Amino acid sequence: MQKLLIKGKRELSGKISISGSKNATLPILAASILAKEVRLKNIPLVKDIFTMIDLLNFIGLKTKIIKKSNIIEIKNNEKNINTLAPYKLVKTMRAGVLVLGSLLTKYGKAKVSLPGGCAIGTRPVDLHLFALKKLGAKIKIKNGYIFAEAKKGLKGTIINFPSISVGATENALLAACKAKGKTVLKNCAIEPEIKDLIFFLNKLGSIINFKGRTITIYENKLKSSNITHEVIFDRIELGTYMIACALLAKKNVIIDKIDPKIVKNEINVLKILGVKILKKKSSIIIKKKKKLKNINITTKPYPGFPTDLQAQLMVLLTQVEGVSKIKENIFENRFMHVPELKRMGAQIEIKDKTAIIKGPTKLTGAEVMATDLRASVCLVLAGLIAENRTIINRIYHLDRGYEFLERKLKNCKAEIKRI
Ligand code: UD1
């Protein structure tokens, strides 16, 4: 089993280029089922994306990845289509459930494995099914599978989500763009990745607009060929490297291929902490500051502070003077990195949904275990600032979502290698 070996306390300098967003690419890949020919640029070459591509191949689409330019070409010649998403593919990557909306709306039926829980929480799909039922789908759960049917097609309606879900908003959007009449989705997630999906669907011929948390989808014929789309940058990868630089930048580190407007809140949080950030049109420059201030923060749906950066921010807060608090408001079990950080010397206490972090504490290298994608990268950050050597086990979690992590960090003078 592969591990990461990090020698800590190396200052970072240079440039980091941000990859395409995993969480935007996944629903757009699921949306490609609705077209005949799609070419996606700026896709990140990470494990979750390859799993989704395997799923599209299983369904019967033809895919060609051009690795050196991060491009994928997808063709659907409508031959031997399988409206099934099997357990073996959905269990390793929950976003597999997103093919449900596309398959159902296009082919009138779908059988998709229930994804089940995962390390960070139970993560049900009731809101996905609630929306599809409202659109007229008949849904049964049997033998661990969702059986969905809409023989006469789906019908537009008003759907008011009882709580905000990224995946449920995406599945509802996919299903509604071939429904009859108008669909209005209320209380939606409005993450930039959802806006990128809407941008893609509009290229397909959908007419979708949004205002606040309401998305309206109008009935329209979809175009199917020659659709090219460049996926948005990965704002979570950007946030991760911003935090790494706030901890370790020697002079200035430039982070490029981004749009600072999309991460306004994350930049503000770091500025409140005292980190120096200079915004340019498609890049930022970060400077490490000696003394940072403590904060209290709660994770929220976009435009709030993302749960996907909670673990990374916690590492930064271990180096800040005073007591900081992070309330995790999205997932019920997302503090699994805390025992590992404590083993490295962090002083963190958990009370209900809140982590209380006392700083500054000196972290020392240790052998630690990654538990999920963002927890693993938080251990990388901890290893980078710790004294001596840190070994991170179970790094397959990291490979699910961070493209060229070691290469990007090594280019900035970090000492990190896979063993
Ligand atoms: C997506 C992101 C993930 C991120 C999360 C929250 C992708 C591939 N993944 O996950 O990285 O951490 O958004 O920003 O884009 N819920 C229900 N019922 C449902 C659906 C969700 O109760 O049917 C709950 C979840 O358990 C969770 C909350 O709603 O507590 C938010 O989950 P959701 O926004 O759906 O996250 P995902 O789409 O799974």
pLDDT tens digits for range 384-397: 999 999 999 999 99
| Residue 123, ligand 1, Cβ within 6 A | yes
CA atoms of 53 and 376, how far apart (whole Å)? 24
Specify the higher pLDDT residue, 290 or 131.
Answer: 131
Pair (241, 211) in one structural domain: no
For the chain, helix, strand, coil in percent to 5 are 35, 30, 35
| Residue 126, ligand 1, Cβ within 6 A | yes
**pLDDT score of 345:** 98
Q: Which of 179, 205, 230 finishes a domain?
A: 230
Pair (37, 8) in one structural domain: no
Give me the number of domains the chain comprises: 2
Pair (73, 92) in one structural domain: yes
**pLDDT score of 224:** 79
CA of 4 to the centre of ligand 1 (A): 28
| Contact predicate 184/145, CB 8 Å | no
Q: Which of 180, 213, 230 finishes a domain?
A: 230
| Ligand 1 atom having least distance to the Cα of 129 | 23
**pLDDT score of 288:** 75
CA of 328 to the centre of ligand 1 (A): 13
| Ligand 1 atom having least distance to the Cα of 22 | 8
Pair (173, 251) in one structural domain: no
CA-nearest of 236, 222, 324, 227 to 273 is: 324
| Ligand 1 atom having least distance to the Cα of 332 | 30
Q: Beta-carbon neighbour count of residue 417 at 10 Å?
A: 12
Q: Stretch 209-227: mean pLDDT, rounded?
A: 93
Sheet holding 367-369, edge to edge: 367-369, 389-393, 4-7, 415-418
Q: Stretch 1-27: mean pLDDT, rounded?
A: 96
CA of 48 to the centre of ligand 1 (A): 16
| Residue 27, ligand 1, Cβ within 6 A | no
Using most ligand atoms within 8 A of CB, pick from 22, 330, 353, 397 the residue to mutate for ligand 1.
330
Output the residue whose Cα is nearest ligand 1's atom 26.
123
Q: Stretch 191-213: mean pLDDT, rounded?
A: 97
Per the DSSP assignment, residues forming a β-bridge with 39 are 73, 228
| Ligand 1 atom having least distance to the Cα of 128 | 23
**pLDDT score of 250:** 84
Pair (83, 129) in one structural domain: yes
CA of 286 to the centre of ligand 1 (A): 30
Pair (404, 285) in one structural domain: yes
- Does the predicted model carry a pTM greater than 0.95? yes
| Ligand 1 atom having least distance to the Cα of 121 | 26
**Given 118, 177, 188, 378, the catalytic residue:** 118
Using most ligand atoms within 8 A of CB, pick from 29, 52, 120, 123 the residue to mutate for ligand 1.
123
Pair (195, 244) in one structural domain: no
| Ligand 1 atom having least distance to the Cα of 166 | 34
In the predicted structure, residue 12 carries a pLDDT above the cut 70: yes
Pair (295, 159) in one structural domain: no
Q: Stretch 312-331: mean pLDDT, rounded?
A: 97
Q: Which residues contact 131 (CB under 8 A, 6 or more apart)?
A: 159, 161, 168, 171, 172, 175, 185
| Residue 127, ligand 1, Cβ within 6 A | yes
> Domain containing 223: what range?
22-230
Q: Which of 190, 207, 230 finishes a domain?
A: 230
| Contact predicate 365/337, CB 8 Å | no
**pLDDT score of 122:** 75
pLDDT one-digit tens code per residue, 49-98: 999 999 999 999 999 999 999 999 999 999 999 999 999 999 989 999 99
| Residue 26, ligand 1, Cβ within 6 A | yes
Dihedrals phi, psi of 195, to nearest 5 degrees: -65, -35
CA of 167 to the centre of ligand 1 (A): 6
Q: Which of the four pLDDT bands, split at 50, 70 and 90, describes residue 117?
A: low
| Residue 166, ligand 1, Cβ within 6 A | yes
The proportion of the chain whose per-residue pLDDT surpasses 70, expressed as a percent, equals 100
| CATH code, 129 | 3.65.10.10
Clarify whether 118 is annotated catalytic.
yes
**pLDDT score of 291:** 87
Sign of the C-alpha dihedral computed for residues 16, 253, 272 and 261 taken in this order: negative
CA atoms of 359 and 316, how far apart (whole Å)? 9
Q: Stretch 393-419: mean pLDDT, rounded?
A: 95
Output the residue whose Cα is nearest ligand 1's atom 8.
23
Q: Stretch 281-295: mean pLDDT, rounded?
A: 90
CA of 120 to the centre of ligand 1 (A): 10
CA-nearest of 44, 127, 143 to 87 is: 143
Q: Which of the four pLDDT bands, split at 50, 70 and 90, describes residue 123?
A: confident
CA of 7 to the centre of ligand 1 (A): 34
**Three-class secondary structure of residue 383 per DSSP:** helix
Pair (218, 258) in one structural domain: no
Output the residue whose Cα is nearest ligand 1's atom 20.
125
Pair (144, 96) in one structural domain: yes
Using most ligand atoms within 8 A of CB, pick from 159, 166, 169, 193 the residue to mutate for ligand 1.
166
CA of 157 to the centre of ligand 1 (A): 23
The proportion of the chain whose per-residue pLDDT surpasses 90, expressed as a percent, equals 92
Pair (243, 165) in one structural domain: no
Output the residue whose Cα is nearest ligand 1's atom 31.
165
Pair (110, 140) in one structural domain: yes
Mean of all residue pLDDT scores within the chain: 96
